[in-house]
Amino acid sequence: MPNSPSKESHFVVSAGAHIHSGESVPKIMWTVFLALLPAGACGVIVFGFAALKVMLISVASCLITEALIQKLSHKKISIHDGSAALTGLLLAYNLPSGVPLWIPVIGSIFAIAVCKQAFGGLGANIFNPALAARAFLLVSWPKYMTSWPKPFNVDGVTSATPLMMMKEAHVFNISQMGVSYMDLFMGVRGGCIGEVCIFALIIGAIYLLWKRYIWYQTPLAFIFTTGILSWLFGAQGFMTGDFLFSILSGGLILGAFFMATDYVTAPLTKRGRLVFGVACGGLTFIIRKFGGYPEGVSYAILMMNAAVPLIDRYVRPRRYGTQIGTDARAK
């Protein structure tokens, strides 16, 4: 039959011609890594040399774990791309500086082996590896994960985090906590290594926004949703919350700019990122107010990571040349 395809027929399917932007996975990963370093430096200044040891061990453990798994599975070793190093740094930033040094080792192994490589490696993981590892460590060893060292050489500041004082000690006035808004902004407070200095985090975030490595929809929606809900539904009644305190305390800025914007586990479209950010903010508020832990950023992002496929499905751009609703009618 002349019209039937022959065995010798070959079809070549390829992507269309595009202009390469010059960006690459290693360039983006190492740029984000560098943008996070000011926050790490401030963490060392606030908590001392112990914070630096946690960061170095966490990064090294992630690199070693990824290299070993790729070696054993006969895959190309790709630790040079920066993704494992970035996971290690973000994990360290979500740990107290006083944890035993085996904590970042176990967290790093879990992040890379279970949360990344078990799903197929970079680009295939469902959850943010650093946050998933933090959640695992928090559930497994809550005593170590909720023991906050006092800021280094700072008198008059308690080691407890501001959110913990509000949650457990029922202290609702920031002046009663022994800190000011400027202390919260500069990092003179208890907390995890990389979350305390908002000033350093914002510097890194502005640079990434300028480079267009992250987008503003998710962080701003995340931050303002958390702040507005915290203000509207304060612990002492309607519209009695502290908008600024809810933003500057805890790991909201770190999570909103550096983990909720992860390429692999975040939505693809602008509207999807906006929905993702609003939902993360709402869940963070709910966990902070009604949950057992004073902070909810990590769990909020992880829960919304699981919802990303649904967001991408229902918040899709209209196909070129079609009208709104055409795809749905075609089904």
Q: How far is residue 139's CA from residue 293's CA, in Å, rounded to a whole number?
A: 11
Q: What is the average pLDDT across 43-51?
A: 93
Q: Write the DSSP string, 137-184.
A: HHHH-HHHHT--PPPTT-TT--SS-HHHHHHHS----GGGGT--HHHH
Q: For residue 14, what pLDDT is reported? A: 60
Give the tens place of pLDDT for each residue, 204-252: 999 999 999 999 999 999 999 999 999 999 877 788 888 999 999 989 9
Q: What is the average pLDDT across 141-145?
A: 94
Q: How far is residue 2's CA from residue 49's CA, in Å, rounded to a whole number?
A: 77
With beta carbons less than 8 A apart as the criterion, state whether 277 and 221 touch. Answer: yes
Q: How far is residue 200's CA from residue 41's CA, in Å, rounded to a whole number?
A: 9
Spatial neighbors of 61 by CB under 8 A, at least 6 apart, are 88, 104, 105, 108, 109
Q: For residue 329, what pLDDT is reported? A: 46
The answer to which of 60-69, 89-98, 158-167 has the lowest mean pLDDT is 158-167
Which candidate, 255, 229, 256, places its Cα nearest to that of 243? 229
172 vs 224, which has greater pLDDT?
224
Q: How far is residue 321's CA from residue 7's CA, in Å, rounded to a whole number?
A: 36
Give the tens place of pLDDT for each residue, 271-296: 999 999 999 999 999 999 998 888 89
Q: For residue 28, what pLDDT is reported? A: 94
SS3 letters across 232-257: HEECCEECCCCHHHHHHCCCHHHHHH
- Per residue in 103-117, is it b (16+ CB within 10 Å) or e — as a string? bbbbbbbbbbbbbbb
Over 70: is that where the pLDDT of 169 sits? Answer: no
Q: How far is residue 306's CA from residue 281's CA, in Å, rounded to a whole number?
A: 15
CA angle 64, 207, 276 (to 5 degrees): 80
- For the chain, how long is the longest CA-to-CA vector? 90
* pLDDT > 90: percent of the chain: 69
271 vs 10, which has greater pLDDT?
271
The answer to which of 79-88, 151-160, 243-252 has the lowest mean pLDDT is 151-160
Domains of the chain listed by start with CATH number: 25-313 (1.10.3430)
Over 90: is that where the pLDDT of 119 sits? Answer: yes
